[in-house]
A = this chain, B = another copy of it.
Amino acid sequence: MTSQHSTAPVILTGDRPTGPLHLGHFVGSLRNRVAYQDSYRQFVMLADAQALTDNMDDIGKVHRNVVEVALDYLAVGLDPAKTTILIQSQIPELAELTFYYLNLVTVARLERNPTVKEEIKHRGFERDIPAGFLTYPASQAADITAFKASLVPVGEDQIPMIEQTNEIVRRFNRVAQKDVLVEAKALVPEVGRLPGIDGKAKMSKSLGNTINLGASAAEITAAVKMVYTDPLHLRVADPGHLEGNVAFIYLDAFDPDREGLQAMKEHYVRGGLGDSVVKKRLEGILQDMLAPIRARREEFAKDKGQVMQILREGTAKAREVAAQTTDEVRRALGLSYF
């Protein structure tokens, strides 16, 4: 860790390792993390313990995807010399902090959390939610505070989770009668959610509408063919619509030639521009963007031992920080004896 880093603000991000990462992750988080690692002291967490909450029926999936997601990280350019990549379950201090924080939040408050409410609905849990799901905000508070992160990149919908963390922080510091824990700020990225290739609001593995970061050239070609455009744009001569047109949304996200893109949009709206031309432009951009990522991914994948070594070192480094915080927490709670 360089001296620049040791005084830099701490930022914590991460993913539940339940499947390969895709363009949605790239736009929503990965691209930013590559930038953050130069200005912040960045921890990126593989939240395997968290992923178990609703994967107890397929525990092998979580284990397998830890190394796959790590490969995605390395492929997009997260640099282990700048970013600490850690495996959540290998830092038991995070469970210990969760245990303490459960005393600092009421059941009623957890049930009011809009993010939890939304997810309960989304996953169809109703009253039969696993307790670990209801208490997930306390676990997230543990992750954030263990590293004393002051910045947490999240989508708009996750802001209530950060608020809940900060409530726990304030309550803890009041109990401890000193500022042991640090409040965090949500860092909401400018570019939001990327729609799926089918036009659905969210690109998601479970919806089968993704383009994975490790996609082969042929998979990219096939995916772009399926990209949803304008259902009213039947003949080339017809005026086209940009709203909800996934091809243009992707071009907005990735096309470096903003002027050329603007001209193409005007032509499309005017009429006389076929979808195939638009998709050809999109495919070229995606192929150019993903080819080096795929190449780096394949390179790292040749030596998974090296990847595990990176995870081992990152986890050890992160654990030192978490252990230090947990020690302070234990002392503040009077749970220190020997």
Contact = CB atoms under 8 A, between A and B. Distances in A.
Contacts of A263: none
Contacts of A66: 337
Interface stretch (A84-92, A180-188, A210-218): A84-92
A89 B330 contact: yes
A130 B334 CA distance: 19
A103 B52 contact: yes
Contacts of A52: 100, 103, 333, 335
B337 A87 contact: yes
A311 interface: yes
B100 A98 contact: no
Contact of A129 (B92, B106, B130): B106
Contacts of A127: 106-108
Nearest to A55: B103
A63 interface: yes
Interface string A100-144: 101111111010000000000000000111111111001100000
**Max chain B Cβ within 10 angstroms of own Cβ: one of A49, A87, A312, A315:** A49
A135 B105 CA distance: 12
Interface residues of A, number: 52
A269 interface: no
A71 B311 CA distance: 46
Number of copies of chain A assembled together: 2
A59 interface: yes
Interface of A: 48-49, 52-53, 56-57, 59-60, 62-63, 66, 87, 89-90, 92-93, 95-96, 98-100, 102-108, 110, 127-135, 138-139, 175, 308, 311-312, 315, 326, 330, 333-335, 337-338
26 contacts: A49-B100, A52-B100, A53-B103, A56-B103, A56-B175, A63-B337, A87-B337, A89-B330, A90-B335, A92-B96, A92-B326, A95-B95, A95-B96, A95-B99, A102-B132, A103-B130, A103-B131, A103-B132, A105-B130, A106-B129, A106-B131, A107-B127, A131-B134, A131-B138, A135-B135, A311-B337
